[in-house]
Amino acid sequence: MTEPTFDSSRRDFLKTTGVTAGVSALAGVAIPSVHAAEDNTIRVALIGCGGRGTGAAANALSTKQGPIKLHAMADVFKDRLDSSLKQLKDEFGNQVEATLDRQFIGFDAYKKAMDTLRPGDVVILTTPPAFRWVHFTYAIQKGLHTFMEKPVAVDGPTARRMIALADEAKKKNLKVGVGLMCRHCDAREELLARIHDGEIGDILALRAYRQTGPVGSAFVKPKPDGITELLYQIRNFHGFLWASGGCFSDFLIHNIDECCWMKGSWPVTAQGAGARCYRDDYIDQNFDTYSVEYTFDDGTKLFLEGRNIEGCHQEFASYAHGTKGIAVISSNSHSPARSRIYKGQKMTRANLAWAFPQPEPNPYQTEWDLLIHAIKKDKLHNEVKRGAEASLVTAMGRMSAHTGQLITFENAMNGKYEFAPDVDKLTMTSAAPLQVDKVTKHYPIPQPGMIRDREYLA
């Protein structure tokens, strides 16, 4: 099983900042380098102008390794582009140069925005995950460095496609960051080193929780008039498996990924369960509760609990239990992690053995600092394969809960079912990949044990 490693780290960044890069290891390959001295500005195009895209653009513009400017923007919704543009312009002023002629709306807007860039510039891909492979393919063709949000795939075929594209990007010496920012957290990095040094002993089990109220756009009501079915589903993409892998893939991936990072491997099987509980008039495809037991090759377990129900106990954290003690990987959201180690299995003040000092650097910013540093210094930086594997491991748990079957890593990776194989052909007038059942007036939902070879019947 491939270990969940990454190509560059904050420690590497700190060691090499300010040092002139050596000769590229990719001899003979055309390298999109920083632009000539008379125009060394890195231009950025934002594809997908929702909250996460706006946040990623803000991180890009905040890096101190500039000059960096937001050059173009693209979305299928004009109101989201306008809102993002205003927010970024209010904060960053003249760094935002996405003039009216470089603001694009529609399913082909990503091409138009990337066409305004030069080889060696950067594109941000923060649309729903279904479109990731489509947009990344074009970014590679244009010779653009890329930052993409997680998950990068939602099923086996798209995961395999992204891994193949990762190799193509490496051949062109393109730098690619993936938004699993927990991997670039100082606190977690030190905790990882301490775990590897044996401070909690051998890992016996891991636990992860994301138990909150309704999250994102995961709870979807019947479509109102005035918007097409396709655009309604994209606007509420957390509610639809084809668009995002649902709330499971989009929100539980961080906890799963950080636990696998601490363990140093990906799990080989997933056995899950879930249910829809208090749905009112919500008709999306999500379950309200998920419980998954992941098993690693050595038999170690990762127990994952997800819940999106108001009025219940809430917990948002990950833990690693060892023969000597317990490690808190993260607590109370993703950042700050507040990583710490306790002697024994009781998390009491008396048993506290180590805690990362506060405040912590923001990992959302660090991942951008690393990416731009890699571009400026021509360092290897390609997180796509690891991001695709993390996305697939997450999908394993979702598939198991939705089908009621034991899912292996190999089953998931080699799976043939693809939610939306023609997503690259969508236009503003296309039919949606998913349709409301004419009888029930609901979207198709998973039926564990009844539908076992896929997650729902369209």
Q: What CATH number is given to the structural domain containing 83?
A: 3.40.50.720
**Are both 151 and 214 inside the same structural domain?**
no
Asked which of 323, 351, 383 is the last residue of a domain, the reply is: 383
Any domain includes 263: yes
Where does the pLDDT of residue 278 fall: very low under 50, low under 70, confident under 90, or very high at 90 and above? confident
Q: Write out pLDDT tens, residues 44-85.
A: 999 999 999 999 999 999 999 889 999 999 999 999 999 999
What is the reported pLDDT for 425?
A: 98
**Are both 148 and 269 inside the same structural domain?**
no
**Are both 199 and 244 inside the same structural domain?**
yes
Least confident of 17-26, 60-69, 264-273, 303-312: 17-26
Name the average pLDDT for the chain.
Answer: 92
Six token digits for residue 184? 């670039």
Any domain includes 326: yes
Any domain includes 447: no
Q: Write out pLDDT tens, residues 112-163.
A: 999 999 999 999 999 999 999 999 999 999 999 999 999 999 999 999 999 9
- Burial letters 228-263, b for 16+ CB under 10 A, else e: eebebbbbbbbbbbbbbbbbbbbbbbbbbbbbbbbb
Asked which of 326, 351, 383 is the last residue of a domain, the reply is: 383
Q: Which amino acid is at 134?
A: V
**Are both 179 and 216 inside the same structural domain?**
no
Any domain includes 451: no
pTM attached to this predicted model: 0.92
Mean pLDDT of 260-286: 95
Asked which of 316, 349, 383 is the last residue of a domain, the reply is: 383
Any domain includes 446: no
% of the chain surpassing 90 pLDDT: 88
Any domain includes 437: no
**Are both 408 and 377 inside the same structural domain?**
no
**Are both 149 and 210 inside the same structural domain?**
no
For residues 409 and 388, is the Cβ–Cβ distance under 8 A? no
CATH code of the domain in which 420 resides: 3.30.360.10
**Are both 147 and 195 inside the same structural domain?**
no
| Beta-carbon count within 10 A of 16 CB | 15
| Domain of residue 87, residue span | 10-183+363-383
For residues 145 and 156, is the Cβ–Cβ distance under 8 A? no
Any domain includes 214: yes
Separation of alpha carbons 295 and 203, rounded Å:
13
Separation of alpha carbons 104 and 181, rounded Å:
28
Any domain includes 58: yes
Whether residue 28 has pLDDT greater than 70: no
**Are both 26 and 169 inside the same structural domain?**
yes
For residues 24 and 31, is the Cβ–Cβ distance under 8 A? yes
Domain count, the chain: 2
% of the chain surpassing 70 pLDDT: 92
Separation of alpha carbons 92 and 86, rounded Å:
10
**Are both 23 and 93 inside the same structural domain?**
yes
Mean pLDDT of 204-228: 95
Which of 417, 387, 402 is CA-nearest to residue 151? 387
For residues 351 and 343, is the Cβ–Cβ distance under 8 A? yes
What is the reported pLDDT for 1?
A: 57
**Are both 280 and 416 inside the same structural domain?**
yes
Which of 250, 221, 218 is CA-nearest to residue 436? 221
Separation of alpha carbons 91 and 111, rounded Å:
27
Mean pLDDT of 96-105: 98
**Are both 179 and 212 inside the same structural domain?**
no
| Beta-carbon count within 10 A of 156 CB | 21
The residue written with tokens 């498996």 in the block is 241
**Are both 48 and 23 inside the same structural domain?**
yes
